[in-house]
Amino acid sequence: MESFKASFEKELLKKLSQKASGSQSEETVLTKCFKYFDLNNNGTIEPEEFGKAIEKVGIMIPTKRDLDSLFSLYDTDKSGSIDYKEFASQLMNKDVPTTPLKKGNNPDELLDRLRKKLASRGARGIIGLGKQFRLFDTNHSMSLDKYEFTKCMTDYMLGFSEGEIQALFRQFDISRNGLIEYDEFLRVLRGPMNDFRRKIVA
């Protein structure tokens, strides 16, 4: 089934690339196609609507069984519907080539670099990044997915490459659920308590 999913995504990205223009990206094209069939405008679509949206892009899923199987792969919470903006952003994120880590930049060193960059901005550092975090948390879930985290880090202009941001994401995603919770984010960012902080907590 994973090979079917991979070939579907490859074909979908190809069709979207053909339909995209200078004024709209592939993600915009896909979101518009989904939105067209989202009659109640709640940001989610069901299997039949999913099939129609994909067909509008130019892909025919051969059978209903194939469509249902494909849909279930993306319906990760098994709610019977897909948040199409999340689907679009995840799909686009997969297509972004990952820049390898620079030699010597292991995850711990990256975290150290991030802390130093934030410290160099003084109080505005961590507070500013916290504000950025909340800005990109559009559904107010107090968490960011990989796409939102990448955009947050890029827009805050911290100077990390795509590969480094992905490595940082893995460091922050303690629960390994594909999301960075706000408290996870702060906990990792602050690092282990030093003796001074231990005395304060005690």
Which residues lie below 8 Å from residue 157, measured CB to CB, with a gap of 6+? none
pLDDT for 194: 44
Q: Check pLDDT > 50 for residue 105.
A: yes
Query: Among 26-40, 152-166, 183-197, which is the least confidently predicted range?
Result: 183-197
DSSP-based three-state secondary structure for 39: coil
CATH annotation of 2-94 = 1.10.238.10
pTM of the model: 0.44
Q: What is the DSSP string of 174-198?
A: TT-SSEEEHHHHHHHHH-S--HHHH
Query: Among 24-28, 63-67, 124-128, which is the least confidently predicted range?
Result: 124-128
Question: Cβ atoms within 10 A of the Cβ of 60, count?
Answer: 8
Given a contact cutoff of 8 angstroms between Cβ atoms, the answer to whether 23 and 14 are in contact is: no
CA atoms lying within 13 Å on the CB side of residue 60: 2
* pLDDT 10s digits, 121-161: 665 666 777 777 777 787 788 888 887 788 777 777 777 77
Fold entry, domain 107-195: Recoverin; domain 1 (1.10.238)
Given a contact cutoff of 8 angstroms between Cβ atoms, the answer to whether 50 and 11 are in contact is: no
pLDDT for 122: 66
Place of tokens 């711990």: 108
Band of pLDDT at residue 97, cut at 50, 70 and 90: very low
Q: Which amino acid is at 29?
A: V
CATH 1.10.238.10 residue ranges in the chain?
Answer: 2-94, 107-195
Q: What is the DSSP string of 41-98?
A: -SSEE-HHHHHHHHHHHT---S-HHHHHHHHHHH-TT-SS-EEHHHHHHHHHHHTSPP
Which residues lie below 8 Å from residue 35, measured CB to CB, with a gap of 6+? 41, 84
